[in-house]
Chains A and B, each alone.
Chain A
């Protein structure tokens, strides 16, 4: 098995006095694709956001690439170049062109040369079939195009791991496929990924493993095929029964 990239141990997270993640434990190896599933409010977003330093946590440790993460601003600033994240709301910056959106990280965070970063950005744009959109502004794009560019913007930093939080949830049905295809492609090229999604068929096809979260606890950590064929807990059975796929 490949090298371990991420390890989460005894992670606890509270909002004010309410604990929403209880004793979360799991590990992810390089190149693995993990689907993080669970019903609404189970804590999927909270967990994935914690892994990018967007939420603080009250207990436990996160280890990335063999190093324990000391939860400070500086640590997360550096780690975010290695852990990319894409959100449901895409949030391209409306004041910047598509190209400038993509170049912001490489130029300002990684201080790469413009020529090299731009060539890279154009290649990435071409890989999502948006080569001709470099000079457009976000408001001139469809939701699906925006989300594909948001993925490219995260990839432009060449992260070692990608986090996706329901990236197709606000897209029109006909736009969903294009975005899922990009993620499938990334998975095939051995990107390590944690994917929160309600697209069960996609999860079943692409994920190596499923983490099933319920009320802030990981109830199942299973191989994908096993999870879908034989969910072990009642909660997971109910969850799968409630999803149409």
Chain B
């Protein structure tokens, strides 16, 4: 292990780190938003939109992110939509993550027992009130573990951005290896960089899961 190699390449890795982090945050927030909307469309069985949501989820979950990115970056320009690599990457991540987040939310709503829903109905609550005061608050809490798993999953998926030459962490490492052949050092830095993001985040999410569970259900 050559420490000079590491210190010299550090600025590039810091830059790549920043890009991975930034695209992850935007992509995950976008995926949460899309997922929440899709899950509500399905929960309320909104005619038309519901079928559309099913088609989207099937496509999103059953095609690799790599292919989705190629389509957005290389395919869409043919249809007159030309997006930068970065924007393509974010859209790709949202396209992929939206369906995973939707299923996580839906799984949470479905975890609410039939008898909870019936006792809400027996009080005269409308479907909307039932959703707002009974199903969604409990369902969101129940979906936190699955949402958290998706957050980690999506961050790892950003490594695929390298195929459309977004200079995020993986791309930075592969570029440097291609130029200078010091693969040990660069791969070491790559692993450390991902670990710096993912390990604390993973711990924080576990903490959040526990907190949310207690916060909404009393002590």
Is A81's CB under 8 angstroms from B124's CB?
yes
Q: Which residues from B are CB-within-8-Å of A91?
A: 113, 115-116, 118-119
A94 adjacent to B138 (CB under 8 Å) = yes
CB atoms of A93 and B120 under 8 A apart: yes
With A87-B118, A96-B133, A150-B119 in contact, is A105–B124 under 8 Å at CB?
A: yes
How far is B126's CA from A210's CA once the two chains are assembled, in angstroms?
Answer: 33
A95, A109, A150: which contacts B217 (Cβ < 8 A)? A95
Sort chain B's interface into a size bin: 20 to 34
A140 to B218, CA, bound (A): 8
Q: Which residues of chain B are near A240, meaning CB under 8 Å?
A: none
- Asked if residues A109 and B123 are in contact (CB atoms below 8 Å), the reply is yes
CB contact under 8 A between A109 and B129, given known A84-B122, A157-B124: yes
In the assembled complex, the CB of A42 is this many whole angstroms from the nearest CB of chain B, namely 20
List residues of chain B with CB within 8 A of the CB of A93: 116, 120, 133-134, 138
Could you tell me the dominant secondary structure of chain B's interface residues?
helix
B63 interfacial by beta-carbon distance below 8 Å: no
Given A91-B116, A95-B216, does the pair A105, B123 have CB atoms closer than 8 Å? yes
When distances are taken between beta carbons in the complex, the residues of chain B under 8 Å from A80 are: 121-124
Q: A109 and B124 in contact (CB under 8 A), knowing A87-B118, A136-B218, A139-B217?
A: yes
Q: Are B218 and A138 in contact (CB under 8 A)?
A: yes
| Interface check A228, CB cutoff 8 A | no
| Residue A202 is within 8 A (CB to CB) of chain B in the complex | no
Chain A residues with Cβ below 8 Å from B122 are 52, 54, 80, 84-85, 87, 154
Inter-chain contacts of B134 with A (CB < 8 A): 93, 95
Interface residues of A (CB under 8 A from B): 52-54, 77-78, 80-81, 84-85, 87, 89-91, 93-97, 104-105, 108-110, 136-140, 150, 153-154, 157
